[in-house]
Amino acid sequence: MQKKISNIIFDFGGVILDINPGLTEQAFHNLGLPNFNELYTLANQVDLFDYLEKGLISPNHFYSEIRKISGLDISDKQIMDAWNSMLLDIPPERVELLLNLKSRYRTFLLSNTNQIHYEYYSDNFQKVYGYCGLSDLFEKDYYSFMINMRKPDVEIFEYVLNDMNLKPEETIFIDDAPVNIEAAIKTGIDARLLPKGTSLNEFIRFLI
């Protein structure tokens, strides 16, 4: 007997939003910071990036720390543009998919993100699609910098479950990072890894 699925929680970057962290690494290299990959990867972050994603430091503090670490005389805008280089787009078929799913399930977004990225992709989304924001695609969207916690901490999954009164056994979580999948499973959520290069639209067809 197939279990009932009522809720779907989506990761954002790498699942809904296409990203390429290599573009940010190259952009910082072009600014004169050749070892940026030692400071930041999606899998292993130094505290500066953790603090930014948890909303514990401001964008201005982040910019100042990048200047301090690099020893370079670069502007806030140069850092911001380089940092945002990894953010690509949300294909139309994913927007259509999310709107369709929202009409049939309780859908949510759970993203490790920071204020700089959030403002950039939210503005782009509004310009391209005309919606007020990403919140139009979900019942509720959660961003790490707004709630001061991030994946793969188990507490962030418990927070979403409790906040929306969701039953974990009726909830699917989709992410492209194995460590986040492992954390979600600890709460009883049916967490599924989206393999690299796999279409979200095709992946969903086999889950629901």
| pTM of the predicted model as reported, rounded to 2 decimal places | 0.93
User: What distance lies between CA 92 and its chain's CA centroid?
Assistant: 18
Write down the pLDDT at residue 205.
87
The CA distances from residue 11 to 17, 59, 112, 118, in Å, are 9, 23, 8, 14
Write down the pLDDT at residue 44.
56
Write down the pLDDT at residue 43.
47
Write down the pLDDT at residue 41.
62
Q: Report how far residue 18's alpha carbon sits from residue 60's, in angstroms, rounded to the nearest whole number.
A: 26
Tens of pLDDT along 5-49? 999 999 999 999 999 999 999 999 999 988 887 776 654 566 899
Write down the pLDDT at residue 175.
98
Most distant pair of Cα atoms in the chain: their distance: 62
Domains and CATH numbers, the chain: 7-19+89-205 (3.40.50.1000), 21-84 (1.10.150.240)
Give the list of residues 6+ apart from residue 158 with CB closer than 8 angstroms, or none.
Answer: 187
- For the chain, the DSSP string reads -PPP--EEEE--BTTTB-B-HHHHHHHHHHHT-TTHHHHB-SSSB-HHHHHHHTTSS-HHHHHHHHHHHHT----HHHHHHHHHTTB----HHHHHHHHHHHTTSEEEEEE---HHHHHHHHHHHHHHH--S-GGGGSSEEEEHHHHT--TT-HHHHHHHHHHTT--GGGEEEEES-HHHHHHHHTTT-EEEE--TT--HHHHHHTT-
Write down the pLDDT at residue 35.
81
Write down the pLDDT at residue 6.
97
Note whether 42 and 177 are within 8 A (CB): yes
Tokens 């989304």 correspond to: 125
For residue 144, give both structure tokens. 């790490």
Write down the pLDDT at residue 45.
61
Residue spans of the chain under pLDDT 50: 1, 43
